[in-house]
Structure formats: structure tokens, C-alpha cells
Amino acid sequence: MAGSTPRIPDATVARLPLYRRALLELDEQTTANVSSERLAEMAGVNAAKVRKDLSYLGSYGTRGVGYDVEFLLFHVSRALGLTSDWPVVIVGMGNLGQALANYRGFTERGFPVAALVDVDPAKVGSEIDGRLVDHLDDLDRLVAERGIAIAIIATPAAVAQEVAERVVEAGVQSVLNFAPTVVTLPDGVPVRKVDLATELQILSFYQQRRASTSGADH
């Protein structure tokens, strides 16, 4: 069956977590069926897109009834690989890395934090939230021994690209980049980005515009 995995477009993949969240909510309310319209509204997309996206998973609603919530939830969760745990390494134990190391949400969601690494002699050997900080040089061994699948990069921007290449060499298969820079990796190594600084600057822009507009109007 594994060979029959359909090729799902990246944009669809990016929406599956939204559908899953909506389905979890419906399931908690013991809702048995859901229309594509309702699912679309909960996920913040349009209904035609929902139907198209779910058709890639081989899921088709029944006319007048909609989708079976429990079955679709199972389908989407399985497609997302959430039936397995994916151990992560956090690289870079600065302010952000430490905050992420302390965040329990990763483990709770099936992404156990299996290793913390840095290159700073002052940090290597110390403990954060009861976990030892290892040296980046030990990454090959850590990845192999602990089955690490995903690297979370929380280094300064200047070294993020180099570190990303290093983690891929060590056998890590995908990257979540928190460093405030663009990281490019070979095809087949997915990189996702979480950029707090950029999001804050975008809000700052609107604050600034509001401030200058109200100054002119009043």
C-alpha cells in the first residue's frame, strides 16, 4: 500500500493541519458528519478547495450528508504522519533556543525533543530543563542513536545556512528554521520557517501607519 501514496500538492499539505484541527473540534463535540462548507468556514478556506484537497486523500463526502468526521480525522492524521513520533534536535541554545527547549508543546504533539546542541563551550555540558546540551560535533552520533528526524534551527542568522547543511549531512531529514534568514537546502529536504521578527515587523508597520494616519486626520 505504501507505494500507492498519492502525490499531494504542497499547498494542500499546508492546509491539512487546518482541516485536522477543525475535525478534532467537531469530534470533541461528537459531531458525526460535516459538510465541506462548514469545514471550509472552520479552516478559513473556501469549500471548493476543501473538496479538492480532500479528494487527494481519496476522501469524498456523501451528497447531502457530508464527510464522516471520525473517519476523515483518521485519514488526515495518517496522511500527516501523526501516527508516529518524530524526534527533534534543537540547534542553538541562545534566548530563543532555550525558550524552545523549555516548551513542552513539542513533546505533547508527537515531536519529542531528543537533543539540544550548541558550539559555545560555556553552554555545552550544561543542562536546560533537565536535558544535557551536546556539542554540534556530536550530531552524527546523536541523530543515529536517537532516530532524530527533524532539526529546529535557533542559531543566529549568520550561521543558519551552514548549520542547516551540517544537520542534513548528519542525517536529519527536514528543518524548521527559526533563524531570521532564508535557508536553502537540496530538493527533498523540506524547510519550513517560523519568523517571529518578521511577523512583529509587519505588525509594527501597521502600528506606524495607524499612528501617522491619525496624526494627519485629527
Subset of 124-183 contacting its own copies (CB under 8 A):
149-150, 157, 173-176, 180-182
Output the smallest distance, CB 117 to its own copies, in A.
18
Fill in the amino acid letter for 148.
I
Q: Which of 30, 64, 105, 121 binds its own copies (CB under 8 A)?
A: 105
Nearer to its own copies, 1 or 64 (CB): 1
Which listed range, 52-60, 106-114, 119-127, 130-138, lies at the site for its own copies (CB under 8 A)?
106-114
Q: Which of residues 5-24 bind its own copies (CB under 8 A)?
A: 5, 8, 13-14, 16-18, 20-21
C-alpha cell at 73: 480525522
Instruction: Answer for the pair 126, 116: CB distance below 8 angstroms, yes or no.
Output: no
The number of beta carbons lying within 10 Å of the beta carbon of residue 84 is 8
Residues 23-52 that bind its own copies (CB under 8 A): 25, 42-44
Of residues 56 and 135, the one with the C-beta less far from its own copies: 56
Enumerate the H helices of 80-148 as residue ranges. 95-102, 105-108, 139-146
Residue 86: name the closest of 147, 136, 130 by CA. 147
C-alpha closest to that of 91 among 144, 156, 145 = 156
